[in-house]
Structure 1
Amino acid sequence: MAHATWKVIGASGFVGSSILARLASEGVTLEAVEAPRLLTRTSDPDKLIAEARSLEGIIDTLADSFAGCDLIINASGLAAPDQEDLAPLIGANALLPIIIAIAAQRTGVRRVIHISSAAVLGAASVLTPTEETDPFSAYSFSKALGEEALLKIRSFVEETAAQGRAPGSEQSEFPAAPSYAPVQVAKDHAVEICIIRATSVQGRGRRTTQAFAKIASSPLASVAGSASRRTPVSSNYALAEFVHMIAAFEGELPAIVVQPWEGATTESVLVDAGRRQPIHLPEALCRAAVSAGYKVSELLGDRLTGPVRRVEVMWFGQDIDDSWARAHGLIPQARVQEVLRTAHSSLGSKRDRKFSD
């Protein structure tokens, strides 16, 4: 996809800074856009879209920053898997993406890439690009709500564009933006919205990565059974490269794509992050422990659901349906081993001689 200026929202965050660095290395002309802080408890997607449309001042501010922009990458959001307060989560992970999509359509932006999370699929055995979600926490719910609303906007924009009254055009009830200097938007213009479901992204300086390295370096490092299972543990470098590939893709993008598998398994990530062999526990015991954990969490108001889910993924992993990306040759370089070994080194502990390579 030929491009003029690309803009990254949330460029100061963990994922956003990785994407910004990758795009800069690719010679992309880009600018960072600051993400406004929003709060809401609206949990119905249609009502949330209506609320977003009423925030004309914020739409105008973003639209003004989108001037002359060809592509928007939304890497903003609140990555707080254990947070229970919905207002900031929905504000950052659902309401803001909607406003970004609205402002992008009304200013004639060609493509919006939204970084979501595979956490919206819950305990699915395979991470897929399905529109059906199964959130298990406040965080995953807010991400799933954002996806659902964006898919509704995507369908609405495409439908109205086909009818010659797309938002931002003269025949639309939704005006061009910004309101004080509206741009000219073609009646058949439809911004292309693509959602990327990031998997379990790890990287330097991320607390979850350090926590994983500590567990992997301890006697708690374990996997279920003797079989080697795929895991969604991935690197920020591969995600950033994949985002660039999707953003630059010349053809039509699907509504949802999943970050490709980096070749890691439940055992390999523990070896890389802990430099020791994990314990192989009886699979039946692990399943019973996970089931009991979820039941206890339910009794405690789902407070332990996140930690239980992380243990479940450590033991059993998750497969990834990245068939679309592979069919189009959009597979980034695998760097998860590098990231995990760096995380282990940063702990300052001595390496086991058996893993000195």
Structure 2
Amino acid sequence: MTAHSWRVLGATGFIGSAITTALRSRDVQVTPVATPRLASPATTVHHLIEHAHRLESVIDYLAESFAGADTVVNAAGLAAPDQTHQQSLTGANALLPVLVALAAHRTGVRRVIHMSSASVQADAPVLDESIRTAPFSPYSFSKALGESALYRLHSQWEGEDRAPEITVIRATSVMGSDRRTTRLLARFASSPLSSVAGDGTAPTPVTSVTALAQFTASVGEFPGALPPVILQPWEGATTGSVLRDAGRRHPTSLPPWLCRAVIATARFGSSVVGHRYAGLIRRLEVTWFGQRQVPGWAHEHHVIPEPHVQEILRQAHLALGR
């Protein structure tokens, strides 16, 4: 299927703007859609979908915005791994995807791509493309809830001719030269604190927003059926290469047992204050230990974007002026 008309929610955001640029570079007709601001007290899929059905005016607005579109990308959401205000996170990361799917179903959109996060699988030894989730923070819970609700809708609509195909793309640790997370990584990598657990050869899911945008465009244009979950492909980064590219210096090699002890102590301290620092601790853990991921759908179907992570990390280092 080659989509000739796209809508993108979150088109002015970090990931959405990159996707919009990638689509326009392919001469794809793309229209940004303004994102409604939402909040929800729902903590289960049932109550989330129930809440969505009550927001008829929002569904109407989105359906009108989607009229004539073949593909809708939801790149909107609240990218705040350290935030603890659950209702805002649930509204942006779980309720909105349901409303997008309901509006797409009403309008006859053929394909909905929801941009999610690999954080829904927390500290799994290997990231995969199963619908299994294990959230560890308010942010990852909201992303997992949104995914689960979309799977529920997909199963309810199975067999309907006009039902949209719904696919979740799980972005990994996405870097952009202007992103705050990337700037913080570059500062860490440029400092004497720069360190890895072991020899620094462990694969890490640190990726580039450029490659993610290209990949999303390719997924949307893929002519065959899509699976429920697609994991953003690995760009070849290791724990050591990420810090060398972002800091232009070799990181210190720390004993893995010491790093594990630090992470365990930090998690205990975070649990005492309501897991407030869970996101920060997880980022440190990935920096030290990395995380493997399955090759997945992208490799099976040869939909691999050109890697840009090294380029983006080096740009972030240069921006520090060091």
Q: Which TM-score tier does this pair reach, normalised by the shorter chain?
A: over 0.9
Following superposition, the deviation at residue 205 of structure 1 comes to 1.5
* Cross-structure match for 1:125: 125
Q: How has the CA–CA distance of structure 1 residues 79 and 237 changed in structure 2, closer, same or farther, with 3 Å as cutoff?
A: same
Contact 1:10 1:76 (8 Å CA) reproduced: yes
Following superposition, the deviation at residue 322 of structure 1 comes to 2.7
Distance 2:163 2:304 in 1: 27
* Cross-structure match for 2:78: 78
* Cross-structure match for 2:8: 8
Distance 1:38 1:198 in 2: 22
Residues 147-198 of structure 1 show CA distances to partners (whole Å, capped at 9, x for unaligned) of: 0001101111115x2xxxxxxxxxxxxxxxxxxxxxxxxxx32210000000
* Cross-structure match for 1:189: 162
* Cross-structure match for 2:186: 213
Following superposition, the deviation at residue 286 of structure 1 comes to 1.0
Q: Does 1:258 align with 2:226?
A: no
Distance 1:322 1:226 in 2: 23
Question: Residue 12 of structure 2: SS of its match in structure 1?
Answer: coil
* Cross-structure match for 2:34: 34
| AA partner of residue 32 (structure 1) | P
Question: Residue 98 of structure 2: SS of its match in structure 1?
Answer: helix
TM-score (norm 2): 0.98
Contact 2:199 2:240 (8 Å CA) reproduced: no
Distance 1:191 1:64 in 2: 16
Distance 1:68 1:133 in 2: 34
Aligned residues: 322
Q: Does 1:332 align with 2:305?
A: yes
| AA partner of residue 36 (structure 2) | P
Distance 1:9 1:298 in 2: 34
Q: How has the CA–CA distance of structure 1 residues 65 and 227 changed in structure 2, closer, same or farther, with 3 Å as cutoff?
A: closer
Distance 1:322 1:12 in 2: 30
Distance 1:74 1:263 in 2: 27
Contact 2:94 2:143 (8 Å CA) reproduced: yes
Distance 2:220 2:296 in 1: 18
Find the partner of 1:292 among 265, 268, 281: 265
| AA partner of residue 293 (structure 2) | I
Distance 2:97 2:257 in 1: 41
Question: Residue 69 of structure 1: SS of its match in structure 2?
Answer: coil
Q: Please give the residue correspondences for 1:54-133 in structure 2 after superposition, counting only pairs within 5 Å.
A: 54-133=54-133
Distance 2:2 2:261 in 1: 53
Following superposition, the deviation at residue 142 of structure 1 comes to 0.5
Residues 12-49 of structure 1 show CA distances to partners (whole Å, capped at 9, x for unaligned) of: 00000000000000110111101100011111111100
RMSD: 0.9
Distance 1:113 1:326 in 2: 19
* Cross-structure match for 1:53: 53
Question: Residue 84 of structure 1: SS of its match in structure 2?
Answer: coil
Following superposition, the deviation at residue 276 of structure 1 comes to 0.3
Distance 2:271 2:39 in 1: 27
* Cross-structure match for 1:270: 243
Please identify runs of 4+ aligned residues in structure 1 that moved more than 3 A.
none
Contact 2:246 2:316 (8 Å CA) reproduced: yes
Following superposition, the deviation at residue 53 of structure 1 comes to 1.1
Q: Radius of gyration: which is bigger?
A: 1
Contact 1:259 1:322 (8 Å CA) reproduced: no
Distance 2:283 2:16 in 1: 24
Q: Which deviates further from its counterpart, 291-300 or 45-54? A: 291-300
TM-score (norm 1): 0.89
Q: Structure 1: 5+ residue runs without aligned partners? A: 162-187, 350-357
Identity in percent: 53
Distance 1:42 1:276 in 2: 46
